[in-house]
Amino acid sequence: MTELQATRLPYCPDNRHYYAALRDLPWPVWLDSGYPASGGGRYDIIAADPYITLVCKDGATTLAASGGAVRVAHGDPLGLLREAMGRSATAHGALPFCGGAIGFLGYDLARTLGDLPARAGAEGWPDMAVGLYDWALVVDHARQRCDLVRSGRDPRGDDSWRSALRQLLNALPGREPPRAATGRLIEPGMQRDAYARSFARIQRYIRDGDCYQVNLAQRFRAAVDSDAWTLYQRMRADNPAPFGALLEYPFGEILSCSPEQFLQLRDGHVQTRPIKGTRPRGDSAHSDQAMRAQLLSSAKDRAENLMIVDLLRNDLGKVCEPGSIDVPGLFEVESFATVHHLVSTVTGHLRGGCDALDLIAACFPGGSITGAPKRRAMQIIDELEPVRREVYCGSVIRLGFDGNLDSSITIRTLLMRGDEVFYWAGGGIVADSACAAEYQESLDKAAAFLGLFG
């Protein structure tokens, strides 16, 4: 195993040209901070050509090595990922990532990790796909610095790294504006009457004491004439987000403009920032400020947010040191291109003997997109939503060989299979929710997608 290598490359605020230079390699991924328009993103991570891939579906995980060896294993997929990653490495100063695992955990991975039912039919998408990347391009927008780093774990040696370096050095900054995406909406989600029936069922469950909150989502489907690269450039231009991502796999693509952090782990310090509470942006400065103030003062949205904060405090308590869990930020409004969100921050310190994958197992999927109590809410979701969520409400993860983790909740996320794309939007329903308002909130959250194809 070689020492960490790092090569400085020219810094550019928009890294489309760097990603485009690597798209012909296997399993390219871009973790996109949306800088500077997202108002909070700092790092972009671009990688490709993993030396091991893990793809899990219905409890069976296929591990494929770059040399051609393939094996299928059963059991805990997160445990298999831990085994494949090998020994941990030392963190390297200011670099947030020096190689490791990048990929997605689908919402339906919870069926493998737990004992949830499986009423809604599967459509062939994996429950998890993660690559182990020996090298990555790390862009630090705060320091205006760009480094191609290599961990030296790829058994193929430095061939992949050298090839990537040549392609990146020859990359030219993209100056053309994103092209328009073209397509047509062919499945408009739930009709109002179907949504109302599901809403009434949830209200009954709440009255009966089964649950306090359930996140109900609807799926939209469109036929497209654009490829994933064209579509993602349009999405990030219209709706930049601090947890954007483009992941291109042989079986399909994930295009995410997520505003929500799931779990972050830095040297034992854990942070999660759930979103619960939404208002659309106003069409003038005055109306926009009124929407923001309305969200901040809403007793319902604050109560809904607090339920999820309590749920996450409980989840973190499974793997964090007793007494270390804190809520340093509660009911803070953050504004994005199409909506305002109510956000809270929960922190803790990971217990000795636990690692990032234990943390994920304790908290997955995120409470902000399930409900409370989590397990019962997920059972109700499975009963009422006619199709599986697949990528939606799962997580895009970046887990370094140093054990540090960054991950998002995959909301505002589009799944692409061939010439069809799928997009979900939903919201939390509580005892005093109004059906019409909740249905409209789901449409507000889907506004960026509907603007492309509506």
Examine residue 176 and state whether it is found in any structural domain, yes or no: no
Is residue 307 within 8 Å of residue 212, measured between CB atoms? Answer: yes
The CATH number linked to 361 is: 3.60.120.10
Examine residue 351 and state whether it is found in any structural domain, yes or no: yes
Active site members: 260, 276
Examine residue 384 and state whether it is found in any structural domain, yes or no: yes
Examine residue 336 and state whether it is found in any structural domain, yes or no: yes
State which residues of the chain have pLDDT below 50.
1
Examine residue 369 and state whether it is found in any structural domain, yes or no: yes
* Per-residue pLDDT, 1: 47
Q: Annotate 440-453 with DSSP letters as a single string.
A: HHHHHHTHHHHHHH
Whether omega for the bond prior to residue 386 falls within 30 degrees of 0, making it cis, is no
Number of folded domains that form the chain: 1
In this structure, what is the dihedral angle of CA atoms 30, 34, 35, 38, given to the nearest 10 degrees?
-160
Q: Report pLDDT digits (tens) over 261-278.
A: 999 999 999 999 999 988
Rounded Cα–Cα distance for residues 285 and 289 (Å): 6
Residue 400's Cβ-count burial label (10 Å; 0-12, 13-18, 19+) is buried
Q: Which residue range(s) make up the domain with 48?
A: 5-171+181-453
For residue 228, give Cα distances in angstroms to 151, 177, 369, 396, 418. Answer: 29, 16, 26, 17, 9
Between CA 414 and CA 116, with CA 427 as vertex, the angle to 5 degrees is: 80
* Per-residue pLDDT, 330: 95
For residue 430, give Cα distances in angstroms to 256, 269, 365, 440. Answer: 27, 32, 19, 15
3-state helix, strand, coil in the chain (%, to 5): 30, 35, 35
pTM attached to this predicted model: 0.94
Q: Is the dihedral of CA 58, 60, 64, 69 positive or negative?
A: negative
Residue 118's Cβ-count burial label (10 Å; 0-12, 13-18, 19+) is exposed
Examine residue 32 and state whether it is found in any structural domain, yes or no: yes
Examine residue 196 and state whether it is found in any structural domain, yes or no: yes
Backbone angles phi, psi at 426, to 5 degrees: -160, -170
